[in-house]
Amino acid sequence: QSVLTQPPSASGTPGQRVTISCSGSSSNIGSNTVNWYQQLPGTAPKLLIYNNDQRPSGVPDRFSGSKSGTSASLGISGLQSEDEADYYCAAWDDSLKGHVLFGGGTRLTVL
């Protein structure tokens, strides 16, 4: 069971905006930055958001990230069929000498 909690599923219709949440604690999200990954079926994960709200080069500005306290969110606006994928949040955790945590993942379905 992941320490970073995500909803297992989310859905939306083309053009809609969807939000995926990631809930943690003071030792991880509360004191470190959050990253988000997109994993299309059968492929390796791809970095989507880093440092809470920064987009790597090439990631459309339809994708946005935010963090407040011990929670973070990924927003996807203007939903497209190619956004159908699994999304994972991740953060460093300061406990036990420090380690990386991934959320349990959210499967996004574009209806």
Partner 1 sequence: QIALKESGPSLVKPTQTLTLTCTFSGFSLNTRGVSVGWIRQPPGKALDWLALIFWNDDKRYSPSLKSRLSITRDTSKNQVVLTMTNMDPVDTATYYCAHKYDSSSGFDSWGQGTLVTVSS
**CA–CA separation, 97 and 22 (whole Å):** 23
Q: Kindly state whether residue 33 participates in binding partner 1, applying the rule CB under 8 A.
A: yes
Judged by CB under 8 A, which stretch of 14-22, 23-31, 43-51, 74-82 contacts partner 1? 43-51
How far apart are CB 101 and partner 1 at their closest, in Å? 7
Pairing of strands 106-110, 9-12: parallel
Helix, strand, coil share (%) of the chain residues, nearest 5: 5, 50, 50
- Classified as helix, coil or strand, 81 is helix
- Indicate which single residue of 45, 70, 84, 94 sits in contact with partner 1 (rule: CB under 8 A): 45
Which residues bind to partner 1, rule: CB under 8 A? 2, 33, 35-37, 39, 44-47, 49-51, 56, 88, 90, 92, 96-105
